[in-house]
Amino acid sequence: MKIAILLIDLNSNNDKANKVMAVINPQKVDHKNTCYVFLSMLYLTFMSASLLLSYRFVNIAGVLTVGSVFVIPITYAISDIISELYGYSAMRATIWKMLSCLFILSLLLDGLVHLPVSSKYQLYTQHYHFIFDPHAANLFF
Give the CA angle between residues 8, 9, 14 to the nearest 5°. Answer: 140
* Residue 57 DSSP SS3: strand
Whether residue 59 is contained in a domain is answered as: yes
Whether residue 45 is contained in a domain is answered as: yes
Whether residue 19 is contained in a domain is answered as: no
Whether residue 113 is contained in a domain is answered as: yes
Q: Which residues contact 12 (CB under 8 A, 6 or more apart)?
A: none
pLDDT per residue as tens digits for the range 85-95: 999 999 999 99
Whether residue 57 is contained in a domain is answered as: yes
Residue 115 vs residues 60, 108, 133: alpha-carbon distances, Å: 38, 11, 13
pLDDT of residue 8: 42
Number of domain units in the chain: 1
The least confident of 47-51, 62-66, 90-94, 114-118 is 114-118
pLDDT per residue as tens digits for the range 102-124: 888 888 877 887 788 777 777 77
Residue 62 sits in which domain range? Answer: 30-133
pLDDT at 2 over 50: no
Q: Which residues contact 86 (CB under 8 A, 6 or more apart)?
A: 36
